[in-house]
Structure formats: structure tokens, C-alpha cells
Amino acid sequence: MTLNRRAFLGTAAAATVLSAPMLRAQGRPKVVVVGGGAGGATVARYIAKDSQGAIDVTLVEPTRTYYTCFFSNLYIGGFRDFSSIGHTYGGLASEFGVNVVHDWAVGVDRDANTVTLASGGVLPYDRLVLSPGIDFKDGSVPGWSTAAQNKMPHSWKAGSQTQLLKAQIEAMPEGGTFAMVAPPNPYRCPPGPYERISMVAFYLRENNPTAKILVADPKAKFSKQPLFEEAWNSSYTGMVDWIGPDFGGENVEVRPDSMELIIDGEVEQVDVCNVVPGQKAGRIAEMAGLTAENGFCDIVPATMQSRVDENIHVLGDATNGGDMPKSGFSANSHAKVAAMAIRGALTDSRVFPAKFSNTCWSLVDTENGIKVGATYEATEEKIAKVDGFVSQTGENSALRKATYEESLGWYAGITADMFG
Amino acid sequence: MRLASLLAAALSMAAPAFAQTPIGDADAGKTVFAQCSACHEIGQGAKSRIGPHLNELFGRKAAGIDGFRYSKSLERAGADGLVWTLDKLDAYLENPRVLVSGTRMSFRGLRKKKDRDDVLAYLRAFSESPANIPEAEPTARKVEVELPPEVLAIKGDVAYGEYLSSECKTCHQLDGSDAGIPSITLWPEEDFVLAMHAYKQKIRIHPVMQMMAGRLSDEEIAALAAYFGSLE
């Protein structure tokens, strides 16, 4: 990325001269955002706030209360109330003038530039932002489908699934077995499955100490692995049995009706089975025809525009995000770049170089937090890593406590940044 | 024992308003104060920086320095009659947000009673009559990082700073609330610039901040400082 600022501004000015008069003739330019999570809520808030009414922003999100996936593991461990991870959209509407529509987007007409809603409504747009999160790949775990999600929850979209999993863990018999089928790459929140294992282990150590945890994993290695393994060995000694691909962890099948997990031909009878399947972009991205072969959407890094349609921006977990992991922090970071680019294209506001960053905190035991993070820049080809860091094994308890407290500050910060 | 009470008597005669209650060891308190000195100055020539200066603190009304941009919470507390007495300062230092929930003072607090006693003894010495403490060295900030004057002179582009600040706001809250990540709003621009360069040069140790500052140019740091300094 060697464009200097003047070259950037020149490009932006040229684009504005062409597009602004045409759009103004039709009234305020319209932005429709589909999905009200870390990407969608942030982009709606930033466009509405920074354009000060010059852009009409509509946010389409089916749920009235949005539960964040980040920190849902802390609820499972007993460190957060469920209500503390729930957020509503009242502030976006009242403080920033975002039109919040609680409905499902069921279609995108890319020739007419409209979004169709389940209720039958049709929303025209000058720019569309899709931030639909993830859906699950059919057949990723033999024997499992979303029809089985009440017996074997995924709990990889927060809400009732999260509550169900916690209830199942609490109902485990003494000395019972919690199993997880971990997802293949790429998936939402790389450290998430292992933070979840740590939080389940914490709950069981306190409440059901003879219980066991079994993880079948198709991946040979995973995010922050030495840090998680250190915690499992020291805090939950003998409780966690992680089975990687060398021992058949990629060869699994589930039988939800009989609560069986078959790992490499061996049948395990389990009490709870958390199946986190392989993932793809949220369905609306696929219906809009924006997904690449791997199920996610290719984007132009400098603006987060779809490689398929320049009037559509795609954010967050639904993208092929280059070196960036799929996380709420990443989606929030994508949203700020997209908001800046969209305002630049639809009004005469200035355009700046894209800057991205991400940090993922995980809690492994009481006041024992770890983190990994990096900064990124937009190259022609992809979002490319600039610099990064990760917590170290053997850190002292004061540092781990400070890291945990920092994660609480981050949660307060990012949710304020999303919802106002 | 007798010597101690004689000393206390002598002190109370020298400064009757404040020194009646012995509190702690002011010399030890000077060491504790090192934690405060990143934001607060005290002694001759002390000025308000990220935090207000602390001369004549005892007996001062909360939010009592004209021209310093306090948090709304602290201003409200001052309007409601909060005055910095020994007891109130002790409570504030133990856990700032218990006394003033929305304070922008990003400090976890001193949990040890002895640390609080010592630092309060140190602070009280500067409340008695600062003009009469010629020996007191101005405890201006320790110089963390030397920057060439032309870097400090860069005038920040506020609009660019606002865009760059969106990255800060994922963690740092704009209203200055601190729930585990410190407030960075309304700092003097120079302090902001110095802090960011200290992270960039890895003199300050936080890994996230070293990474974030590490890729910012001098102009970008100035832009951020200008934006955060321009709020409200």
C-alpha cells in the first residue's frame, strides 16, 4: 500500500464529482445494512453519525435484542449474566437516526439495487452493506444438521442456543462427559472453541469435578494453543482430552438421538455434545450471489466492497478477510473502513487509507485472561498483516488479571461503539 | 515516643490547619506518587496536564481548578459539595470510581492503607503553603521520550484524526469512562503525542498499544492528539 494521501484524496474527489449530483437529484443517498452485529451495527452507527443526516441509513436485523457471541463463553462459565451480553437498537434509532427494521432480508436484486424483506417490503439502496455473520455448511459433521441443534447445540450464534448449552451442562450427571466437535478452518472466532472448553472446565471443576471433557478436532493446531494447553494442564488437570487429527479427531460422526459421538470408529456415549460445524457466509450473501467457492465473500480490502458488485460492501465473518481472523473486533474494524469509504462515495467527505486491527481476549480461569492481536493494512490482493503479539505462557497472575480486566473494558468499549 | 510527639507538636504549630493528624511517611509517599506523576504535577511551577495539578489539594473543592476539563461526574460532585478532605481523598485513592463513578482518572486505586497514608502525607506537604516550600523540586513528569521540536510542532489534521480515532474507540470509550481500559479523551495534545511516541518506541510496555502506535506516522499521531484534544 504505497498510495499517498493526496493520491487518495484525488481519487475520492473524482468519484464524488461523478456520483453526487446524480444521487442528490433523487434525495438523500440510501444505505441499507443487513445484519446488526459487530459489523452491521457499527457501520450503521458510523455512517449515520458522521454524515449528520446527509445519508439515509436503514438497518435490517431480525432480533430485537442482540446477544454478542463474544463473552457468551463467559456466560457459560458463570462469569456473566445472560442479560449482560444482550443489547438493543434503541440508541441507534433515537440518537443517530438509523431506521431500524426488525425483519429478515430474503433477497437482493443487484440490477434494481433493492433488498426484499420477509414481510414483503422492498428497500432501495445506493450502497448495500451485508454483515450477515455465518451459517453452517451442510454435511460438515455426519449425522448433524440444524434439525438436531436442540439435542446437540452449536451455540455458535449467541442467544437461546447459548442458554440451552449452559442448561445441558448444568444438568450433566456427576462424572458425566461433555463433548465438543471443534470446527475446521475457517470459522468464526478462532480461539472461541478453546475458550469455551476452558469455561466449561471451570464450571465443572466447581460443580462436577469428576466430569470429563472430550474434544474432537479436525485441526492439528489452533489459536493460542500453548496458552490454552497450559491452562488445561494447570487449572483443570486431567479433565480435558483433546483429540486432534493424528488420533482421528477429523473422522467423526454424531448420533443425536442416542447421544453418541463416534471418533474414528470408536463410539463414545456422552451427556452433552456441542457440535460446532464447518461454516460459510450468512445465507443472504449466498442468495445475493456474492460468495466465492469456499462459501465466503471476496472483498476489495481498501473499501470492503464485494469483488462481485461494487455497490455492495461485505463485512465481518462473511468475508474472506485475508490475514484477519473472523471476530467481532475484526468486523467492527471492517465497518469503520467501509463507513469511511461509503461516505466518501456518496457525499463529499474525505477518504483515508484503510487501517485494520484485531485483538482477541480469552478467559481461561478466574481472573486469568490471555490475548492475541495484530494490525493489518489493505493491499491490492488482501488484508495483510503488519504486526502482532500474543500473550506468553508462564505470565504472572497480576498480568493475567490485568489482561482479564482489559477484556472487560474492551467489551464495554466495543458494545458502546456498536450500539451508541 | 516522646520525640515523635514532640515532632508532631512542632509540625502542628508550623502548619496548624492540616498537620494535626499524623498520617503517614511523606518520604515513602514520594515513591508511591511516582504512579501518579504520569498525569499529575505537584510542587513549584506545577501545571495541570492530563490531570489537574495537586498543589493546595487539601481543602480544595472537587473539580475546583478553573480551566481544567473535568469529567461531568466530578463537576457534579463538586457542585454537590464534595471537598478534598483527608477522609475523602483516602476514599478516592482506595477506589476512585466508588467515590466518583464517572471519573476520568484512570487509576485502579491503592488498596494498601499504608500506601494511601504515605502518599497523602506527601500530598499534604504541598497543601500547607506551596510558596513556602522552596526546597520542593517540581515533580514534573518524568521525561519518557525525547522528541525533536519539529515533531512536537506538527499541527494535527482533526478530520484525519477523527477517522483514525475510530480504531481507538473499539476499546477506549469516548466519554472517558474506564471499565478496565483507560480514558484518553481531553488530554493536552502534547501529552498525547508523547505517550504515543513512548509506545511507538517501546518505552511504554503495553503490547496492544505498542502495536497500535507502532504503525502510526508522526502526522497521524498529531492528528489523533488534535482530535482527542478537540472534543466537547
Over residues A159-196, the pLDDT tens digits come to: 999 999 999 999 999 999 999 999 999 999 999 999 99
Same domain, B128 and B153: no
Half-sphere exposure of B103 toward its Cβ, with a 13 Å CA cutoff? 22
Residue of A nearest to B159 (CA): A350
A329–B170 C-beta distance less than 8 A: yes
pLDDT in the model for residue B231? 86
A387–B163 C-beta distance less than 8 A: no
Main-chain phi, psi angles of A286, to 5 degrees = -70, -45
A374 vs B contacts (CB less than 8 Å) = 211
B170–A409 C-beta distance less than 8 A: no
pLDDT in the model for residue B137? 52
Q: How far is CA A320 from the centre of its chain?
A: 13
Q: Select from A117, A115, A119 the least CA-distant residue to A128.
A: A115
Instruction: State the DSSP H helix or E strand holding residue A266, giving kind and residue range, or none if neither.
Output: strand A266-269
pLDDT in the model for residue B10? 45
Main-chain phi, psi angles of A170, to 5 degrees = -65, -25
Over residues B115-169, the pLDDT tens digits come to: 999 999 999 988 875 554 444 455 545 567 889 999 999 999 999 999 999 999 9
A375 touches chain B (CB under 8 A): yes
Give the Cα separation of B178 and B182 in Å (integer).
Answer: 5
Which of A352, A359, A411 is the closest to B208 by Cβ?
A: A359
pLDDT in the model for residue B81? 92
Give the Cα separation of A319 and B37 in Å (integer).
Answer: 46
The answer to whether residue A298 scores a pLDDT higher than 80 is yes
pLDDT in the model for residue B136? 45
Distances (CA, A) of A281 to A36, A114, A318, B42: 15, 20, 4, 57
DSSP conformational letter for B134: T
The enclosing domain of B72 has a CATH number of: 1.10.760.10
| Chain B interface mutation, best of A50, A304, A355, highest count of B Cβ atoms under 10 Å | A355
SS3 of B219, please? helix
DSSP conformational letter for A230: H
Same domain, B123 and B155: no
B179–A408 C-beta distance less than 8 A: yes
Same domain, B123 and B25: yes
Average pLDDT over chain A, rounded to whole?
Answer: 94
Same domain, B113 and B181: no
| Most confident residue range from A295-299, B43-47, B138-142, B177-181 | A295-299
Residue A395 pLDDT grade (very low, low, confident, very high; cuts 50, 70, 90): very high
| Chain B interface mutation, best of A45, A324, A389, A404, highest count of B Cβ atoms under 10 Å | A389
Which of B170, B180, B215 is the closest to A408 by Cβ?
A: B180
Residue of A nearest to B212 (CA): A375
A46–B163 C-beta distance less than 8 A: no
B173–A375 C-beta distance less than 8 A: no
Q: Select from A361, A330, A412 the least CA-distant residue to A73.
A: A361
Q: How far is CA B158 from the centre of its chain?
A: 25
pLDDT in the model for residue B2? 47
- Of the candidates B64, B97, B132, which is a domain's last residue? B132
Over residues B173-195, the pLDDT tens digits come to: 988 888 889 889 888 899 899 99
**What is the four-CA torsion angle of B84, B229, A335, A194, rounded to 10 degrees?**
-40
Give the whole-number percent of chain A exceeding pLDDT 70: 94
pLDDT in the model for residue B177? 81
pLDDT in the model for residue B129? 58
Same domain, B128 and B58: yes
Which of B159, B181, B208 is the closest to A373 by Cβ?
A: B208
Does B140 reside within a domain?
A: no
The answer to whether residue A238 scores a pLDDT higher than 50 is yes
Same domain, B178 and B101: no
Task: Report all structural domains of chain A as residue ranges with CATH numbers, in order of start.
Answer: 5-135+279-353 (3.50.50.60), 139-275 (3.50.50.60)
Residue B4 pLDDT grade (very low, low, confident, very high; cuts 50, 70, 90): very low
Residue B14 pLDDT grade (very low, low, confident, very high; cuts 50, 70, 90): very low
- Of the candidates B99, B132, B165, which is a domain's last residue? B132
Give the Cα separation of A36 and A232 in Å (integer).
Answer: 35
A357 vs B contacts (CB less than 8 Å) = 167, 170, 211-212
Same domain, B31 and B102: yes
Residue B8 pLDDT grade (very low, low, confident, very high; cuts 50, 70, 90): very low
A374–B170 C-beta distance less than 8 A: no
Residue B23 pLDDT grade (very low, low, confident, very high; cuts 50, 70, 90): confident
| Shortest Cα–Cα distance, A374 to chain B (Å) | 7
Residue A210 pLDDT grade (very low, low, confident, very high; cuts 50, 70, 90): very high
A405 touches chain B (CB under 8 A): yes
ipTM of this complex prediction, to 2 decimal places: 0.87
pLDDT in the model for residue B140? 47
Q: Select from B46, B38, B10, B48 the least CA-distant residue to B183.
A: B38
* Total residues belonging to chain B: 232
Residue A346 pLDDT grade (very low, low, confident, very high; cuts 50, 70, 90): very high
| Shortest Cα–Cα distance, A276 to chain B (Å) | 27
Does B219 reside within a domain?
A: yes
The answer to whether residue B209 scores a pLDDT higher than 90 is yes
Instruction: State the DSSP H helix or E strand holding residue A119, giving kind and residue range, or none if neither.
Output: none
Residue A409 pLDDT grade (very low, low, confident, very high; cuts 50, 70, 90): very high
* C-alpha cell of residue A408: 472487560
Domain that holds residue B225: 149-229
B160–A336 C-beta distance less than 8 A: no
The answer to whether residue B101 scores a pLDDT higher than 90 is no
Exposed e or buried b per residue across B5-16, where buried means at least 16 C-beta atoms within 10 angstroms of its C-beta: eeeeeeeeeeee
Instruction: State the DSSP H helix or E strand holding residue A103, giving kind and residue range, or none if neither.
Output: none
pLDDT in the model for residue A17? 41
Does B141 reside within a domain?
A: no
Into how many domains does chain B fold?
2
**Is the Cβ–Cβ distance between A311 and A303 less than 8 Å?**
no
Q: Where would I find the H helices in chain B?
A: 2-14, 26-33, 72-79, 86-94, 96-99, 113-128, 149-152, 158-168, 189-200, 207-214, 218-229
Cβ-based neighbour number of residue A230 at 10 Å: 17
Q: Select from A282, A361, A403, A303 the least CA-distant residue to A36.
A: A282
End-to-end, the C-alpha distance of chain A in Å comes to 32
